[in-house]
Structure 1
């Protein structure tokens, strides 16, 4: 089972595809809640980091019908599934590519907003990653982070998934400030749900 759970971190093969499908369904309520705090213009260019199975890209394409949504993930399996999930608009209103959050493959100021749903747990150097996110956002652009787990003392998942770190909301807020983000706001949802927004 532990090897199957590793696909939560980087989906690969059959079990990776199963995990991605489960995430698309299981994370939908959390994502819908978090996305209510995303402020983006109608014609925005939005980056979804750690796009997984592509459900959040699809949701943003529906919510912002004049916008362009780009997804990036370091799992080739995730990239494939995100492309399949959004194939109707691929190449016109969305794109998905493979990439690492620590060295995002985009120019400075390329995006109006960036999102990270259920993914910061797996970023090996969050301070460096946050600085990269800030680099690819235009001045004033919004960064949205949404996490289901926010209690570092709860080892329910970290004991099963190698390389996973759960951060408290205050830890993430501090990391955002150190990376140069302004106006960081932390919101609490049900259970351990947290949502953070900040401006580049």
Structure 2
């Protein structure tokens, strides 16, 4: 595949934009379905939880979170305006019922008071954090005492199979991510690794796996 095509793929995955934003959002829903559903299961949302998601895309999986228990309050933040607009359209019922809100915001500058949330999670976004320590400081700020943070990724050995990840992606092993969290004020609770169905990309079969690190605000 041409280098410029790979670079544009990387840019779109980082921040969906322009005329292809909606298509990118749909592709992410399909390609990331397994890791999203596993993360939501691991989140173990309970009644009255106040949950923040960083990088929810078009908000397709919000319904799965809110169905887990009554009186869950969900907030989604994304720095892609088209994704936030799509999430608002897709989740109008939940917004009208005061169950969900969506904001255009960067992960290192969240528009919330501290502390607000008892659970924060993010799926496949940490690759794009220019300053991970700054983001984790901000997530720690908005978390309540003993609040939980879940970070879900494709491990480095999986991500290295994709040609576009050489452009602007920072990849992590389980050990890398665990150490990063520990160095920035989080206590590791558990690490979950799961094998997903193989994916076919450009005629090649790619092995796919998920990693979820669950941590607690120390």
Q: Match for 1:186 among 186, 191, 194?
A: 191
TM superposition shift of 1:151: 2.4
Q: In the alignment, does 2:21 pair up with 1:16?
A: yes
Q: How does 1:60-71 map to 2 (within 5 A)?
A: 60-71=65-76
1:109 corresponds in structure 2 to: 115
Cα distance in structure 1, aligned partners of 2:189 and 2:175: 10
Verify: 1:137 aligned to 2:143, yes or no. yes
Segments of 5+ residues of structure 2 without an aligned counterpart are 196-207
Shift of the alpha carbon at 1:155? Answer: 5.4
1:195 aligns with 2:201: no
Are residues 58 and 153 of structure 1, via their aligned partners in 2, closer, same or farther at CA, if it must alter by over 3 Å? closer
Name whichever of 23-32 and 110-119 sits farther off.
Answer: 23-32
Q: CA deviation at 1:199?
A: 0.7
* Secondary structure of the corresponding residue to residue 192 of structure 1: strand
Query: Paired residues, what number?
Result: 198
TM-score normalised to the size of structure 2?
0.84
Residue aligned with 1:170, SS = helix
Q: Which has the larger radius of gyration?
A: 2
Deviation per residue, 1:50-86 (Å, 9 max, x gap):
1111123222112233211000011101111111121
For 1:74, the equivalent position in structure 2 comes to: 79
> Is the contact between residue 40 and residue 112 of structure 1 (CA under 8 Å) also seen in structure 2?
no
Please identify which structure carries the higher strand content.
2
Partner Cα separation in structure 1 for residue 188 and residue 16 of structure 2: 34
**Runs of 4+ deviating beyond 4 Å:** none
| 1:82-102 per-position Cα deviation (integer Å, ceiling 9, x unaligned) | 111211111411000011111
Q: How does 1:1-200 map to 2 (within 5 A)?
A: 1-2=5-6, 3-91=8-96, 92-151=98-157, 154=160, 156=162, 157-159=164-166, 162-190=167-195, 191-200=208-217
The structure whose residues are more often helix, as a share, is 2
Q: CA deviation at 1:186?
A: 1.6
The CA RMSD over aligned residues, in Å, is 1.7
Flag the 1:197–1:164 CA change in 2: closer, same or farther, 3 A: same
1:133, distance to aligned residue in structure 2 (A): 0.7
Counterpart-to-counterpart distance in 1, 2:145 and 2:23: 38
User: Deviation of residue 153 (structure 1)?
Assistant: 7.7
**Per-residue displacement from partner, 1:149-193 (whole Å, max 9, x unpaired)?**
43288252313xx32111111111111111111134222111431
